[in-house]
Amino acid sequence: MTLQDRAGLAGARRVVVKVGSSSISGENAEKIGPIVDALAEAHARGTEVVLVSSGAIATGMPFLLLDARPSDLATQQAAAAVGQNMLVYRYQEALRPFDIVAGQVLLTAGDLENPTHRSNARRAMERLLGLRILPIVNENDTVATHEIRFGDNDRLAALVAQLVGADALVLLSDIETLYTRPPDEPGATPIIDVDFGDDLSGYQFGSVVVNSVGTGGAATKASAARLAASAGIAVLVTSADLVHAALRGEQVGTWFAPNPQPIAPSTTAPVRVDGA
């Protein structure tokens, strides 16, 4: 199904939703409940939902008595090992009232570039979805190297959307829309719709932002959105607080229209947008 506008999200066959660390960790941990409520609502409509969730390192940090994201790889991996277990537990507890079972899928970008690993991952995901399980995907941070700091899972979410043939990708962030420049700067205006092929080079999305719990930023979301859109997948970028409205097809966020002549996933390369 090719979605032409946001309204199509309400009846989409298969949707990938990505949530970042800052939206579900620390003082925002309670937001897992509302996010799960929205996913369950879409699930009840018959939509097959895949959740790509960052947050393993951020969730593990308090258990390692860390008050800031560790800079060394070994401690990042240790935090991820502890945090991934707790993160999936929190999701499953939130899903329990809806009688939805979560299935953990840990991947690296390399898994999706290796034909055998990619095929195995696709088969497993298809079976999970066929069983009405909600896959929760994250990077395998415990064994990842440079991927552990790449794009806050935005690119991984775009690759997963291609892997499972999703109709749409919803990238949840801390702001309602993308802006033509950082929203705290004068002259910044919201970007509502991006047609496929639109030139975004004049927009100042900025570089990757690294905060106390994760990595990412507007640039990585724009880049991931272009990557998915090139493969024929519609993309919506909006705030995690608006996830219900987003999945109901309401007029929120920044909409990236899909390529009417999609590029095959095996030949799709990352799209660079202003340093993304």
Q: Give the annotated binding-site residues for substrate.
A: 54, 141, 153
Binding-site residues from annotation: 18, 54, 141, 153, 173-174
DSSP state of 259: P
Q: Do residues 231 and 14 make contact, with C-beta atoms less than 8 angstroms apart?
A: no
DSSP characters over 142-198: TT-SGGGGSGGGHHHHHHHHHHTT-SEEEEEESSSSEESS-TTSTT--EE-EE-TT-
Crossing angle of helices 154-163 and 218-230, rounded to 10°:
20
Binding-site residues from annotation for ATP: 18, 173-174
Measured at the CA of 150, the angle between CA 117 and CA 82, to 5 degrees, comes to 75
For 73, other C-beta atoms within 10 Å of its C-beta total: 14
- Who contacts 200 (Cβ-Cβ below 8 Å, separation ≥6)? 194, 222, 226, 273, 274
User: CA separation (Å) from 116 to 119, 123, 198, 265?
Assistant: 5, 11, 35, 15
Q: Do residues 223 and 157 make contact, with C-beta atoms less than 8 angstroms apart?
A: no
Helix, coil or strand: residue 19: strand
| Among 251, 219, 253, residue whose Cα is nearest residue 235 | 253
DSSP state of 203: S
Backbone phi, psi, residue 17, to 5°: -115, 130
